[in-house]
Every structure is written in structure tokens, then in C-alpha cells.
Structure 1
């Protein structure tokens, strides 16, 4: 068996990860049937126990990777408490994965307002009506809350709730993984000592 495929051009000669991520995400948008921007977000609670759930990536650039949520939710409270998180993208149709982890910052009010304004009206109502991650006595209670906030905001704009905003993960490591035959996968890790540091590129054993 030849191992020449392990040195394919998938990782290019780029010395920073964001352009490569953009290329992979664009290809995923063309090949994935549903939510190519879906990503698993991992956090840790005050007892050191991990949690993981799927969210939707809503933006990325050289500053980091952004998603939005209710800050009173479990993930919101865990991120605010630890200020660290990890992400994992998996694009099955492309047999690719991207993992990253790092420090977390809250996006600016202007960024949160701008994205919130693009959400469907029902989703903006839901941000007010749902006490995310807290016990719900029955579906009727949720529907009642939605009806109350719908009536309250029947006319005009729906303001962004003070507890609803976004997080930006500022990665210290980003690993690109590509499936290869016989489990001899391609793995390339970009790493830096701090969010404003210089990237180092390291090829990893599969």
C-alpha cells in the first residue's frame, strides 16, 4: 500500500487556519443536506463535568467562531463561568472534521443586535418566552408564555432580551481531519500560545 495519499494537498501551504476552514465550510455548504454550519459545543460545569450539544455557527473570522444563545441556559452559565469551550464540526459527506478549543468572549451588543434583528419574528419571541434549560411543567406552559410575549410585542420591533447574546471562541488550537483508507487519516493541527499569538502548523499521527 502506498502512503503517498497522506501528503495530499488538502491542507495546502497556508500558515493560518481560517482560510482553510472557509474553504472546507464552503464545500460542506455544497454537499451537506442539512445545516452545514452545525457544530457540537463542549463546555464544563462547576463540578468539572463536561456537557456537549449542537448549535449553529453564525459567523467566523480571524477573531474566532461565533454562536448565539440564552446566557441563562446551561451552556450559557457554564461558558460564563469558565470562559473556555471547544467545538467539533463533522461533515460526513466529505469525511472531514474540524476541532477547535480556546478562550471565550462575549460579542459586542452591536453584533448581538445585528444578528438578532435577522431572526424570524417567532424566533425573537421564543428568545423571550423560553426559560432555556430550566424545568418545564408541560407544553402548555411554554405555549402560554409564547402567547403572552406575542401579545406584548404584537406591534413594532421586538427588542433583544438582555439575557440573549453571543459567544466568540478564540481558538488556541484548530485541528483539520480528513478520512483516509485503512484509518491512516490526515490530521493537521494549528496551535498558538495565546489568542493573539502566531500560528504553528503541526502534522499529527492519525
Structure 2
């Protein structure tokens, strides 16, 4: 079978403007809870797309760690490629794809660093090895070999010793503050349901149906 012949017809559910909540964050929470209840593998996995100063895009899979009316939070190395992109252009996009539920959620907005206190709180909640890994790794920088990376971990582990690891300044959280969310429900014959929310300057969210 050729790649062009790979296809699936979607039929699990439908979506209309009357189905969704007025608040898109609440609607996201409803769908996120349903993804968790469906026991989807890593329902918190999302693609994070950034753009550098030259307009070159890049994307990668990360894990969302918090969402509320203020936005969507993840953690990473500030010196990584995505961190450098966000320093130059703080617009970004998130994409959740819950295959088993035949659903996607697209989220767009501007990104800012969360407070040091918030980053400290999450860093201190992580497993010890993960904290040491964050200290050891210069994320996105070239390295000669896996052995060299393992050596950096051992070095960081030894430097910490029996002390409680402190969050390095190069590591912390980002929050995407959304101004656009789109909820996609797969339908038959590729006539998918798409409901989009756009934020107006007065803080009001407008809902509209988009053609597939």
C-alpha cells in the first residue's frame, strides 16, 4: 500500500457551536479530562512551534504541566533552540492531537516566562535524576558522544552531592497566553468539525465555525 492510500474515516463524534463552552480554557479542560479518562497515552503531550528572528519555524513535542485562565505552562532550558526563538519572537503555537478521540486542539498566542518562584516550585517537585539532568544538559548544544553526556550527568551529580539541587538559572517555565484556540473533531468524508475562538481587545471570546 502506498502512503497516499493510508487514510481513516472518522466517525466517533461531532462538534457544533452549541456543544462547546463559552470559555475556551474551560472547553479545553473538558476535552483534556476526557482524554485522561479515555486513558490515552500521554494526553499532556503537545507540539510546541516557535519561529526564530529570520522567520524559520521549528517544532517539538513537550509536556504541558499546568493550564488555567492565565494560559498554558511548560518547562524547559531557556538556552535551548526554542528558548532562543522565544527571545527573538515570543509568538508560538501549541497542538494537542488525541488520536483515539479523533480530536485536535490548536492554540496560538504570545509567550512569557513564569515567575522564578513558580519555576522553583515545579523544579523541586521533579524526581532527583530529572533535576540533575536539567543541571547537566546544555540543551540543543552539540556534544561529541553519549558517553560525554553521561559524564556531564555524573559531574553534576557529584557537584550536588547530598545537597538539595537548586534550579539552575537557565531552566524554568514558560506560559503561552492564548488569543486563538481551535477545536477539531474528525468527521466522515473529511468534512471535519472546526470551532474556533478568537480573543477581542475587550477580553471577549468570539466563537465561529470554520470550513474543514
Count of aligned pairs between the two proteins: 201
SS at match of 1:143: helix
**In structure 2, what is the equivalent of residue 118 of structure 1?**
125
| Partner residue in 1 for 2:170 | 163
Task: Measure how far apart 1:15 and its partner are.
Answer: 1.4
**156, 167, 170: which is aligned to 1:149?**
156
State which of 192, 195, 203 in structure 2 corresponds to 1:197. Answer: 203
Note the alpha carbon deviations across 1:146-194, whole angstroms, 9 max, x for none: 0011011121210000010111000110000001111111100010135
Q: Partner of 1:128: helix, strand, or coil?
A: helix
Q: Which runs of 5+ in 2 are unaligned?
A: 1-11
**Which structure carries more relative contact order (alpha carbon 8 Å, separation 6+)?**
2
Q: Name stretches of at least 5 consecutive residues in structure 1 with no aligned partner.
A: none
Q: In structure 2, what is the Cα distance between the partners aligned to 1:88 and 1:202?
A: 19
The TM-score, its normalising length taken from structure 2, stands at: 0.90
Q: Is 2:49–2:93's contact at 8 Å kept on the other side of the alignment?
A: yes
By how many angstroms is 1:140 displaced?
Answer: 1.3
Q: TM-score, normalised by structure 1?
A: 0.92
Kindly indicate whether the alpha-carbon contact (under 8 Å) linking 1:11 and 1:20 is maintained by their aligned counterparts in 2: no
Task: Verify the 8 A CA contact 1:40 1:53 in the aligned structure 2.
Answer: yes
Map residues 1-12 of structure 1 onto 2, 5 A cutoff. 8=15, 12=19
Q: Trace 1:19-38 onto structure 2 (pairs within 5 A).
A: 19-38=26-45
Q: Which residue of 1 aligns with 2:6?
A: none
Task: Work out whether residues 196 and 209 of structure 2, in 8 Å CA contact, stay in contact via their aligned partners in 1.
Answer: yes
RMSD (Å), alpha carbons = 1.8
Aligned to 2:191: 184
The runs of 4+ residues in structure 1 deviating greater than 6 Å are: none
Distance 2:104 2:54 in 1: 29
The 8 Å contact of residues 13 and 186 in structure 2, kept in 1 or not, is answered as: no
